[in-house]
């Protein structure tokens, strides 16, 4: 049977804490013999998801849970916060032409995560936001 390894962590809101999650993910990949170039894009995914969770969730006691599940075929990244949630339908699609002429250059994280994932699921309600990203490793 395909070996599945899991890493679960609860991140406090301190500077650069997403690097701890990335380090853990890299260790798992090394253990599994997954080459660095296969895991490189996942660094961006983890960074965007964790930063969004701390920055936008508006949690009173800010913690973010991160879970990695990995086998030789795929990596699943789960990130959740316990904040106010949001409706992704209300988030305006970023448009590069408009952004170039605007002072508001942000708003790319969700789009980037979606386009770099092999599967991207977002669930959000008043109990918080959960993101599940699948990245194929083969």
Ligand X SMILES: Nc1ncnc2c1ncn2[C@@H]1O[C@H](COP(=O)(O)OP(=O)(O)OP(=O)(O)O)[C@@H](O)[C@H]1O
CB of 115 to ligand X, least distance (A): 11
Q: In terms of CB distance, is 18 or 48 closer to ligand X?
A: 48
Q: In terms of CB distance, is 32 or 86 closer to ligand X?
A: 86
CB of 60 to ligand X, least distance (A): 14
One residue of 64, 109, 129, 135 binding Mg ion per CB under 5 A = 109
Q: Which residues contact 46 (CB under 8 A, 6 or more apart)?
A: 18, 21, 22, 25, 66, 77, 79
**Phi and psi torsions of 32, nearest 5°:** -80, -5
9 within 8 A of 24, measured Cβ to Cβ? yes
> Where does this chain bind Mg ion (CB under 5 A)?
52, 109
């Amino acid at each position: 049977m395909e070996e599945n390894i899991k890493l679960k962590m609860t991140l406090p809101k301190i500077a650069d804490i997403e690097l701890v999650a990335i380090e853990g993910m890299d260790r798992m990949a090394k253990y599994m013999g997954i080459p660095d170039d296969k895991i490189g894009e996942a660094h961006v995914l983890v960074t965007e998801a964790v930063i969004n969770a701390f920055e936008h969730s508006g949690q009173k006691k800010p913690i973010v849970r991160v879970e990695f599940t990995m086998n030789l075929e795929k990596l699943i990244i789960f990130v959740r916060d316990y904040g106010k949630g949001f409706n992704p339908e209300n988030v305006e699609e970023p448009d590069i032409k408009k952004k170039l002429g605007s002072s508001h250059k942000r708003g790319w994280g969700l789009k980037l995560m979606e386009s770099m994932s092999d599967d991207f699921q977002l669930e959000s309600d008043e109990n918080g936001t959960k993101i599940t990203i699948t990245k194929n490793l083969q």
